[in-house]
Amino acid sequence: MVTFLYWFGAQPNICLADVSMVRQVLSDRTGIYPKNLTNPHFMRLLGKGFVLTDGNEWKRHRKVVHPAFNMDKLKMMMMTMSDCSRSMMSEWELELGAKGGLVEIELSRRFEELTADVISHTAFGSSYKEGKQVFLAQMELQFLAFSTFLTVQIPGFRLLDKKVRGMLMDIIKTRQANKDVAGYGNDLLGLMLEACAPEHGESRPQLSMNEIIDECKTFFFVGHNTISHLLTWTMFLLSTHPDWQEKLREEIAMECGDEVPTGDMLNKLKMVNMFLLETLRLYSPVSLIRRKVGTDIELGGIKMPEGALLTIPIATIHHDKEVWGEDADEFRSKRFENGVTRAAKHPNALLSFSSGPRSCIGQNFAMIEAKAVIAMILQRFSFILSPKYVHAPTDVITLCPKYGLPMILKSLKL
């Protein structure tokens, strides 16, 4: 794939589509390829948390946030994921019962609600209802942020951002006020407040209140948005590949039976994992990665000036026949049967969660949630794509179906 220079106004941009060069950039630990923070509205949406910070600032944020995503904490979160999924599917079953065993449901919206419930519970615990209101405001911010990418100013953006920050501050103040009774809590917010508590002294890596709010915004955007779209595109591909729908259902029946999947059960779902990875390849939630050149440098024989922007086109790389083979545009989940590093001609070709030291800290969270939800759906339902579906993947910061995902569901339990 060709690497080329293009200009956006007076700003030089380099499209970096060579996987070896991409690996050099993403694996760098010296800080010469910092994050590109040119759009202030995007920063307000995502929060200047660990995703958008660099250098020592990033290390400080990561020390506070990283423990929330260890495997023991993720296993505790699995119960929340399962409970939220069960609640969603109970609603589906009620609709099926009322409509004679077949019902059409628009799934992308339902998955947005589900993943918002999961992240609200796991981030805010007992305060999830208030957290859900933050999520709804964040959704408005996302579309406003996308509208400003070409510097179009949208009235109300700052006011809405101020509202989001105010709601998060209220949740945090309530948690701090109740600390002596119930502690800070075992959710993501509680873990951050505990790590930053004054009683731990200056030796602990601390975040300011504004930084904790930014991390909460990051959790919402990354933990909700990307996972809901992964679930949506997985269901789309399962409906268009009914043979794989049956294969996965058989694997789930063998490893989980009718039980709610546990972490150990999910680890044994090899074909489900392969299917999710192929979905991420074909419909990566994020279509590109941006970096900045921090100093004059030569990369892959190309001289790059300080300040140039690097665009890593994930969607293009994921469909590159030189990397993935002649069937790169086709669905073939078996390419992942020997793992991610052997699926393509380059071990770092799958970039949905980025790679290197700045790879997505929540990728295990995302994969566990996606496996659990898909397994529980396949235990209970069969489904086909509605004739109303129009295939129009649209990039609104993340890749979503423009007209939703209407699906016809049938219960396997009735």
- Binding-site annotation: residue ranges for heme: 360
Q: What is the DSSP string of 256-309?
A: HTTSPPPHHHHHT-HHHHHHHHHHHHHT-SS-EEEEE--S-EEETTEEE-TT-E
Coil, strand or helix at 4: strand
The annotated binding site is made up of: 360
Q: How many CB atoms lie within 10 A of CB 113?
A: 17
* Cα–Cα distance for residue pair 162/166, rounded to 1 Å: 6
Q: For the chain, what is the radius of gyration of the CA atoms? A: 22
Beta-strand (E) ranges in 360-405?
381-385, 393-396, 398-401
Strand partners, 12: 7
Q: What is the DSSP string of 234-263?
A: HHHHHHH-HHHHHHHHHHHHHHHTTSPPPH
Q: What region, left, alpha or beta, does residue 252 occupy, with left being phi > 0 and alpha being psi -120 to 50 degrees?
A: alpha
Structure tokens at 260: 């709610």
